[in-house]
Chains A and B, each alone.
Chain A
Amino acid sequence: MSIFVDEKTRVVVQGITGRDGSFHTAQMAEYGTQVVAGVTPGKGGRTVHDIPVFDTVAEAVEATGADTSVIYVPARFAADALFEAADAGIRLAVCISEGLPTLDVLRAYHYYRARGLRFIGPNCPGIISPGKAKVGIMPGHIHRPGGVGLVSRSGTLTYEVVWSLTAAGLGQSTCMGIGGDPIIGTSFIDALTAFQADPETTGVVMIGEIGGTDEEEAAEFIQKNVTKPVVSFIAGRTAPKGKRMGHAGAIIAGGKGTAESKIEALTSVGVPVADLPSQLPNLLAERLRG
């Protein structure tokens, strides 16, 4: 098992003919992901890396049975791509694109929730269940199949942690980046719920950062609902107030969203927070040994 994506996942790539879309389609297919279709409006009938391209997601779903979409289209078209995927019967959309207007993401969030659908991101590296499927832009080779579930608001910091887990012999069930925007489709709590229910996942690494109160809400959720060991790292202890740190969502505003508040919330419910990412493998290994 794993969460959200596995060897049965059938992927359609929205924006497959673009530079990033085409490059990562090849990477995902090479990893073993079933990439069954691509969509670029006006370019239906072509193929990219032998994968058929359609004008609309609806046609792609009808012809190939795709159930998951990955979005690589420019920011101004990405919200449209999200709504199109939902309307075409896609169960899970992974939005790699960054720079989507927040009000559009907000609308998509409620649209997906009301229909029992899910999207991950935007502005995220995607999701990988090692050895099964990679739906995103992360380097596949740093992962190993195993029991650690990983959820993070970051991209490269996630790779850093995955690499240290793999080096320490700790393989992963599923690793997902949920995105650095203020409003995102899938939260820490959604990931924790799925990891808790997944029999293959034995422990969870949660990587947060400054901004918002998602980590505080996750801490409360862990206390009530998660019995598997969880360890954490929070980025941005040295970030100044009121300044956006790269990610649109990484900002301490109105006194909310400090690293201290998140670390306090997590440690108070028994989730250890590492000072350095390199401490995470040992911290988790200790707890897995019980």
Chain B
Amino acid sequence: MKIHEYQAKELFRRFGIPTSRGVVVTDPADAPRAAAEMGYPCVVKAQVHVGGRGKAGGVKLAKNEAELKQYAAAILGMDIKGLVVERVLIDEAVDIADELYLGIVLDRASKYPVFMVSAAGGVDIEEVAAKTPEKILKLPVDPAVGFWPHHGRRLAGFLSRDAGIQKQLADFLAKLYKLFLATDASLAEINPCVITRDGRAVAIDAKINFDDNALFRQADVEAMRDVSEEDPLELKAKAAGLSYVKLSGDVGCIVNGAGLAMTTMDLIKHFGSEPANFLDVGGSSDPAKVLTAMEIVTGDPDVKAILLNIFGGITRCDDIAAGLLAALKKMPLTIPLVVRLTGTNEDQGRAMLAEAGISAGVNLDEAVRKAVAAAREGR
């Protein structure tokens, strides 16, 4: 799960991490009052869940009230990579001497939370990693051991030569690690953390992603969710216990299991078309999920044919058939449907469908070919 920059900064302050001061507004008329707290110049920053806000024109420095009103009005409502800006952060403009990159990621390869820090902050860190990897220090810290002063000395010593700044950074990083573990984050990134001309370390940007699997024990994090940033069909799928991702093709697919669902997409492409979506109905055997899945896929106007691909394990083919029949009763189909049904209770499932005049195949390649051909005819 992602949150906005202003929310990440609030979380930082709760953990004692210094950040720039700022106020969020949703109406340009409120911007001057927000700016009164920090004075001019101040920064107007679009709050959306995508990177590259600056390049898209979503971050501006306002030198006076007129500019502030103008920028706030321009940025609010702006479309950045498909997301509409509904909030702007009016943030303190900090006097910058140096820009650092500070981050922690859950590293899949080493299986530790790994610090990534660099004195080359304020730019794309992936580019720094590719071109000048020596400018980045990576340090795994085992949560069973915890963050100790030597970790702080090592990281801070790599970032600055000034003893006073090192001390602040070590403290900053210790708190960031604490936040990371306490909130079940999967990524925490400050780019940049600035060193001001008067020698203070301050986070002027903040990004945190959280582990979706841990949200059941992170009520404070869940409360920060902004559903307006998420795709409505994906939300509907999630509420029903399905995973759905919209894609650009015209063959809709409903599959049990993520690996098989990805493979079905790949086969659609292999046999000459493009998948309209990824949709995993999950492992359990619940007819209601098939009904929701059919609603979602038929609700996509790009879909010209539907492929239902089931290899029953825990999922029972008769449950799938029941769900499909219920769906067809509720919403008669106007596009072709190809069914592949095999595995647990396949005879019962296939018999139920045959009674309703639907033939179900067994062979996967054949079913995909049929669906691709049907979509082509429907174009």
Contacts and interface: CB of A to CB of B under 8 A. Distances in A.
A106 B106 contact: yes
Nearest to B185: A103
Given A139-B344, A246-B280, A276 B267 contact: yes
Interface residues of A, number: 60
A287 interface: no
Given A139-B313, A254-B126, A154 B245 contact: no
Given A75-B216, A156-B256, 11 more contacts: A20-B314, A101-B211, A103-B184, A106-B112, A106-B113, A156-B315, A163-B311, A212-B108, A217-B109, A236-B262, A245-B278
Interface in B68-119: 106, 108-109, 111-113
26 contacts: A100-B213, A101-B184, A102-B213, A102-B214, A103-B113, A103-B143, A106-B106, A106-B113, A110-B144, A111-B144, A139-B313, A154-B260, A155-B257, A155-B258, A155-B313, A156-B259, A159-B311, A160-B364, A243-B245, A243-B278, A244-B243, A246-B243, A246-B258, A246-B280, A247-B259, A276-B365
Q: Is the interface of B mostly helix, strand, loop or mixed?
A: mixed
A159 B144 CA distance: 37
Contacts of B236: none
B348 to A, nearest CB: 15
A156 B311 contact: yes
A278 B311 CA distance: 14
A9 B343 CA distance: 27
A100 B370 CA distance: 39
**SS class, residues of chain A in contact with chain B:** loop
A82 interface: no
A238 B314 contact: no
Interface residues on B, range: 35 or more
B213 A246 contact: no
Contacts of A275: 270
Nearest to B209: A253
A101 B186 CA distance: 10
A238 B269 contact: yes
A138 B314 CA distance: 8
Given A247-B258, A250-B262, A183 B108 contact: yes
Interface string A202-240: 000001011011100100000000000000010111111
A130 to B, nearest CB: 15
